[in-house]
């Protein structure tokens, strides 16, 4: 297995607090996607976000799988905890879409390291392999700016860009600046990702959060995770589409506060 070099940043809280690691959706940055939720939780947890290769200024080293991303995230987290003087601590995890897929890989491959997982707007399989491979071809040819219009339609529930124009514009600006090869490799990683038959092996507590307006990973996708994992529950948010932490930060922060172990 080749472990991609994962970078990230501390978003809120301090090293004296329990660690919460947050992960991004394809085409976004954790620093932007999770910023308002992190501020709301900074009195309770130390929030650290990781970035996908080619996203948010993170380097692009070569192709990767979801499992390899998870291994890279774990290496990054170990660096954070070593800097805290904690060693290999257990941590809580929350990830959106592709970041949620990475969370599932962490739960399956390194179950002793994650004490709770919140999986948002994601799935044990996301979309169809052919569609992801076609998107990779498009991005390699035209760059990530070609994804902005379609992503704006998929990412946000109707009316959100009008209510929160600065938030929507910031997220779409991040997308336009993503390295095309990093985005394409992420698409190809999603094309090969399918852990539906392995959900029963997950023993870690899981909170699955769906957006009622999400057409990418609809509530049924999160319900499949919740029904497959023994210790789990499902929350469905009205008027939310695919980027729940940006669209409903107060609701997400409240759900996390109620779910995270002491």
- Assess whether pLDDT exceeds 70 at residue 123: yes
For 89-120, write each residue's pLDDT tens digit: 899 999 999 999 999 999 999 999 999 999 99
Count other C-beta atoms under 10 Å from residue 101's C-beta: 30
**Banded pLDDT at 59 (limits 50, 70, 90):** confident
Taking alpha carbons only, the member of 121, 147, 152 closest to residue 132 is 147
Average pLDDT, the chain: 95
- Assess whether pLDDT exceeds 90 at residue 256: yes
Cross-sheet strand order for the sheet of 206-211: 7-12, 46-51, 19-23, 91-96, 114-120, 206-211, 232-237
Return the percent helix, strand and coil in the chain, to nearest 5: 50, 15, 35
- Structural domain contains residue 167: yes
Taking alpha carbons only, the member of 26, 37, 46 closest to residue 99 is 26
The per-residue pLDDT for 124 is 98
- Assess whether pLDDT exceeds 80 at residue 85: no
The per-residue pLDDT for 205 is 97
**Banded pLDDT at 3 (limits 50, 70, 90):** low
C-alpha span between 170 and 149 (Å, rounded)? 14
The per-residue pLDDT for 56 is 83
**Paired tokens of 44:** 């309770």
The per-residue pLDDT for 261 is 80
**Banded pLDDT at 137 (limits 50, 70, 90):** very high
- Structural domain contains residue 1: no
Q: What CATH number should be reported for the domain holding residue 66?
A: 3.40.50.1820
The per-residue pLDDT for 86 is 66
For 181-194, write each residue's pLDDT tens digit: 999 999 999 999 99
- Structural domain contains residue 64: yes
**Banded pLDDT at 199 (limits 50, 70, 90):** very high
- Structural domain contains residue 123: yes
- Assess whether pLDDT exceeds 80 at residue 88: no
- Assess whether pLDDT exceeds 80 at residue 165: yes
- Assess whether pLDDT exceeds 60 at residue 221: yes
H-state helical runs in 97-247: 98-109, 129-142, 148-155, 160-163, 165-176, 180-191, 219-228, 244-247
The per-residue pLDDT for 157 is 97
Asked whether 26 and 187 are in contact (CB, 8 A), the reply is yes
For residue 176, the enclosing domain spans 7-259
The per-residue pLDDT for 87 is 65
Q: Across residues 163-192, what is the average pLDDT? A: 97
Class of residue 130 by CB neighbours under 10 A (exposed 0-12, middle 13-18, buried 19+)? exposed
- Structural domain contains residue 2: no
- Structural domain contains residue 160: yes
Count other C-beta atoms under 10 Å from residue 233's C-beta: 13
Q: Angle 146-154-50 (CA atoms, 0-180°, nearest 5)?
A: 80
- Structural domain contains residue 38: yes
Provide CB contacts within 8 A for 227, sequence distance 6+: none
Q: Across residues 31-35, what is the average pLDDT? A: 97
Class of residue 223 by CB neighbours under 10 A (exposed 0-12, middle 13-18, buried 19+)? middle
**Paired tokens of 184:** 């394409």
The per-residue pLDDT for 5 is 78
Per the structure, the count of domains in the chain is 1
C-alpha span between 104 and 206 (Å, rounded)? 10
Q: Across residues 8-28, what is the average pLDDT? A: 95
- Structural domain contains residue 30: yes
Specify the pTM.
Answer: 0.96
Q: Angle 115-58-70 (CA atoms, 0-180°, nearest 5)?
A: 30
């Amino acid at each position: 297995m080749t472990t991609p070099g994962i970078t990230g940043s501390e978003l809120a809280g301090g090293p004296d607090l329990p660690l919460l690691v947050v992960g991004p959706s394809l085409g976004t940055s954790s620093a932007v996607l999770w910023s308002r939720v992190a501020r709301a939780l900074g009195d309770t947890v130390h929030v650290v976000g990781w970035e996908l290769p080619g996203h948010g200024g993170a380097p692009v080293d070569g192709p990767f799988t979801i499992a390899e991303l998870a291994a890279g995230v774990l290496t990054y987290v170990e660096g954070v905890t070593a800097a805290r003087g904690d060693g290999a601590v257990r941590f809580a995890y929350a990830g959106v879409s592709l970041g949620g897929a990475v969370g599932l890989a962490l739960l399956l491959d390194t179950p002793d390291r994650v004490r709770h997982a919140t999986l948002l707007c994601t799935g044990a399989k996301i979309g169809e392999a052919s569609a992801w491979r076609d998107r990779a071809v498009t991005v390699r040819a035209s760059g990530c700016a070609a994804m902005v219009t379609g992503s704006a339609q998929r990412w946000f529930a109707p009316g959100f860009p009008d209510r929160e124009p600065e938030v929507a514009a910031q997220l779409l600006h991040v997308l336009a600046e993503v390295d095309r090869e990093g985005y394409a490799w992420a698409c190809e990683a999603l094309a090969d990702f399918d852990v539906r038959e392995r959900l029963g092996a997950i023993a870690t507590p899981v909170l699955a959060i769906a957006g009622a307006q999400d057409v990418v990973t609809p509530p049924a996708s999160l319900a499949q995770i919740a029904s497959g994992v023994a210790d789990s529950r499902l929350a469905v948010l009205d008027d939310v589409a695919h980027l729940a932490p940006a669209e409903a930060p107060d609701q997400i922060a409240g759900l996390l506060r109620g779910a995270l172990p002491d």
